[in-house]
Amino acid sequence: MDPATITPSHTTHMEQEGRKVLLESGTLFEDWLKQSIDWSKWPDHLAEAVRYGLLGGGKRLRPVLVLQCCRASGGRDDVALTAGGALELVHCFSLIHDDLPSLDNDELRRGQPTLHVHAGEPMAILAGDLMLAMAFGLLAQAPCDAAVRATLVDELATGTSDMVAGQVYDTLGGLPATLPPVEQVKLVHRKKTGALIRAACRMGGHCAGADDDTIHALTTYGEAMGLMFQIVDDLLDVTQSTDHVGKATGKDADSGKRTYPGVLGIEACQQEVERLRAEAVQALQPLKGATEPLAALAEIMAIRTN
């Protein structure tokens, strides 16, 4: 199916396809992470803490995007699995540190106690540190030529740096005062959440040796997906319960953080989500490989409830 032709009549099919893509590709990464990491290299309690933070569930959206963008660009799964695994290590490290008492002080993640509650704050800090190092160690062993490995390292480093900057904006301030409130929120979201999703899509293309036009298309798709994902997250924070989402809700409003619903209202946010979903799907048109999985992921991310 040409992604540009998706209409409401296809919604049920696309939702089913999106769930299937997430389940099958996510399971592939779950198994790969369990089997490809040599856990014997570290003290048992450190290895257990990393496993708890890495293998404790989650959507696996970012590595799935690496894999599906690689496939849509004509690449091989083995390179994408390594790159996606590295990126998921960075993502999970960021969640562990984000949850720490000195930052968001969250006690629940994916329906389970956060790592600092489970294993103590010192171990949570050190497990996160190790996961960041592990990520770049994995990329150094990616089964591709040196030039591609260097590009993947650069993409992941850039995405990680932008993510950290976004976390600073979100937690410690420093946003340009001249920006209107909605642009301030957009800047935080594009960096804190969007940067790694954008990196995932670009890394998938680079895994396949994609040309500049393909990388541009995947970048546009990834930027729309990243912003849409966080707007939906903001909506869930004000419309869903903690038990349903699996993490604390309502904290952003309580802490005075600017969010999309707070700036635009719920209805305008829903309209923006739909606009970004359509933009993501439209961006897939130039790709020559199978794009329905990526279109389906945009669909399921736009309507998710947790």
Delimit the domains of the chain by residue range: 3-303
- Decide if domain 3-303 falls under CATH 3.30.70.520: no
Q: Is 19 helix (H, G, I), strand (E, B) or coil?
A: helix
Where do we find the tokens 């699996």? 246
Q: What is the pLDDT of residue 257?
A: 75
Q: What is the pLDDT of residue 5?
A: 38
Q: What is the pLDDT of residue 245?
A: 54
Report pTM.
0.91
Classify residue 279 by burial, with Cβ atoms within 10 Å: 0-12, 13-18, 19+: middle
For residue 161, give every residue at least 6 positions away whose Cβ sits within 8 Å of its Cβ, in sequence order, or none: none
Instruction: Write down the H helix ranges in the chain.
Output: 11-36, 44-54, 61-72, 77-98, 115-119, 121-140, 146-172, 181-192, 194-207, 212-239, 242-245, 251-255, 260-264, 266-283, 292-303
Rg (CA), the chain: 19
74 sits in the region (left: phi over 0; alpha: psi -120 to 50; else beta) called left
Q: What is the pLDDT of residue 255?
A: 64
Q: What is the pLDDT of residue 7?
A: 42
C-alpha distance from residue 87 to each of 107, 143, 183, 187 (Å): 24, 16, 27, 21
**Residues 235, 209: Cα–Cα separation, whole Å:** 37
Q: What is the pLDDT of residue 8?
A: 43
Rounded to 10 degrees, the C-alpha dihedral 49/98/271/15 comes to: 0
Report CA 268 to chain centroid distance, whole Å.
23
Q: What is the pLDDT of residue 253?
A: 61
| Residue ranges for the chain with pLDDT beneath 70 | 1-11, 241-256
User: How many CB atoms are located within 10 Å of the residue 172 CB?
Assistant: 8
